Structure formats: structure tokens, C-alpha cells
Amino acid sequence: MNILELDTVSFDTETNELIIIDQTLLPGELQMMRLSDASAIREAIKRLCVRGAPAIGVAAALGLYACACRIQQNFEAEFLRCAELIETARPTAVNLSWAVKRMRTAFQKSSASEALRLEALRQEAFSIRDEDIDVCRRIGENGLALISNGDGILTHCNAGQLATVRYGTALAPIHVGVRRGMNFRVYTDETRPLLQGARLSAFEMVSAGVETTVLCDNMAASLMKTGAIQAVFVGCDRVARNGDTANKIGTLGVAIMAKHFGIPFYVCAPTSTIDLDCPNGESIEIENRADEEVTEMWYKERMAPEGVKVYNPAFDVTDADLITAFVTENGIVYPPYAF
């Protein structure tokens, strides 16, 4: 089965379970996870079984509805406990708290009858899912106008279909273009330490039949210097009002290099990822992750000496002045940015 035929996040309406592709196993193994318990959903988000800002937002919404379907007593208190558990799984991607907030509002606005409350939650969760598909498709259309057939595109991390329900954000223009018979050369930074580029973006692009080249993160400058790259497309986890943008660690470096070589640097941003309560990059909370991700994971045995300290932030903030434009579902936004 081609991975692109599967929604990254879906829902079984017979069993009322959230279904996700377990991304920790890709590309070697394609396994689905079925979830309906708030602690398990929190854990799946923390472990990056489901990851990427839009995908965790949709998983939170559908997951919260799955939890609500199983509440036996103290409906309100139990719903709010599940919401809190899921919302705090990861701090940086605003889509997670945005989706949980929408579910909480739907719950609070609905009538006190449990059946009607459940129906309101179902409707809101499915709207969040459907909106994600529509928004990503529109980002793909808008982004496609910025590139030409045959272009070399560099991307960092995975902001493709595997980070959303379908299409992706940064890779959506490629998916839309390929369906129209266009060809691109896609270069995926491996994206240390969790290799979302080498494992996920590369897998997704190869599955779409795109010529794909993986490079280690520290090879991007020399690649750009060859002239092979016509544009950089990345996703985002939280965009501040002034345009400063948190995305996967390493994005800042790519943006600085792109500016040096005069290569346009585009951030594909669903408007749900723009946080109007956040004035600038300094106000964005950056998730720090376990040392072992750097020192042990992916190696047969621990590769760094015991006793070293490890620096492992999951995200960095790219200053607004390094961003050529934002590609949103509503169009392309050029500087000066004031959302």
C-alpha cells in the first residue's frame, strides 16, 4: 500500500477510536495505532508517533472526542481532565492548544445533555479534520505559483502529508504539482536528531514518485552553493505576530544560508499556526527533549562519551527578516509582517 493513500490521522466511527500512523516506525514498518485513552494519546504525541503541528492538532481533537465517547460519569470534570492531559503533551506547536481550545469551547457552548455535548464534540473534531485537509490543499495551490517545473526544492524536517491529514504544508506544492504532471528535485535535510527529513519526508517524496535526495544537515550550504536549489520550503509550529517563526531545530540555520545565497525561503503556514497572542519569537516556549535522542538513538551503541552535557531543543526560531514570504491558505504574505 502507498503511504499517500492513507490519512495520517483518522477516526473509526464504528469503534470511536483515533487512528494514527505510528511514525516512529517509518519508513521500515507501516503500523497503525488505535487510541481512545487520554494518557495514551498524550504519550503518542510526546513520543512523536503522531507529529507535525497540524497533525497533532487534529489528533488531539479526534482523540478527545474518542475519550469523551467513553466517559461513564462526571462527564464535565472527566472531559476537562482529558483535555488538559492532551493539551500539555508538547508546548511549541500552537495547533495543539488551538485544537483543544476549540473542543473545550464546543463543549462549553453545547447544551448540558450528554448526548448533545457528545454530538457537539463530534462535529467540532470532524470540522478541525476537514479544515486541515482543505487548508493544506489551498497552501499547495498557492505555493505552486512560486515554483517552476524542474526546480530544486530544499526542505527541512517533515512538513508533508505525514505532518497533516493529507497534502502537508511545505510539501503540499510538490504533491499538487506532481498530480498535474510536473517534476521537481526535492532535497530533504536529514534533520538531526530525530531524522524526520531522512525517514519521513524522503519516504513521502519517494512514494509520490519524486526525485529525492537526502543530505546531512551540515551539507546544505555546499549544496546551495552549487546552484541546485531554487527555493526552500519549510513548515512552522508557531508564528508570532511579528513573523518570527518556530520550526524544527535547524530551520534557522537553513534560513541564514538561504539568505546568504539569495535563495527564497518560504514558510508554509496554515493560519491556525499564527498565534496572535504571541508578540515575537522570544515569547515562544521551546520544547527540550531527552539527551538520548542525540547520544544514543539510531546508533548500535551509545556514540558520545558518558558524562557529556547535551543541547537538544526540538525547535528554533527563525527571525522574520530571514523569511521571503509566508504561504497561507488565503494567499502569500510578504514583509513587513504584522499579523
Q: Which residues lie near ligand MRU (CB under 6 A)?
A: 48, 51-54, 93, 157, 159, 163-164, 168-169, 196, 235-237, 247-248, 314
Q: Which grid coordinates belong to 64?
A: 478527545
Nearer to ligand MRU, 90 or 117 (CB): 90
Nearer to ligand MRU, 151 or 204 (CB): 204
Nearer to ligand MRU, 196 or 242 (CB): 196
Q: Which of 7, 151, 189, 237 is catalytic?
A: 237
Q: Which grid coordinates belong to 196?
A: 524526520
Rounded least distance, CB 107 to ligand MRU, Å? 26
Active site residue 237: yes
User: Which are the contacts of 59, defined by CB distance < 8 A and separation ≥ 6?
Assistant: 9, 18, 20, 41, 44, 45, 50
Residue 298 amino acid letter: W
Rounded least distance, CB 16 to ligand MRU, Å? 26
Rounded least distance, CB 143 to ligand MRU, Å? 12
On the 0-12 / 13-18 / 19+ scale of CB atoms within 10 A, 306 is exposed
Looking at the chain, the number of H-run helices and the number of E-run strands are: 10, 13
Nearer to ligand MRU, 177 or 235 (CB): 235
Nearer to ligand MRU, 117 or 129 (CB): 129
SS (H, E, C) 144-172: HCCCCCCCEEEECCCCEHHHCCCCECCCH
Rounded least distance, CB 164 to ligand MRU, Å? 6
User: Which are the contacts of 250, defined by CB distance < 8 A and separation ≥ 6?
Assistant: 156, 157, 189, 191, 192, 217, 316
Strands 325-328 and 331-333: antiparallel
Strands 32-35 and 17-21: antiparallel
Which residue has the closest beta carbon to ligand MRU?
Answer: 235
Rounded least distance, CB 237 to ligand MRU, Å? 5
Peptide bond into 193 cis (omega under 30): yes
Rounded least distance, CB 272 to ligand MRU, Å? 11
Q: What residues pair up with 214 in beta bridges, in sequence order?
A: 188
Q: Which residues are catalytic?
A: 237
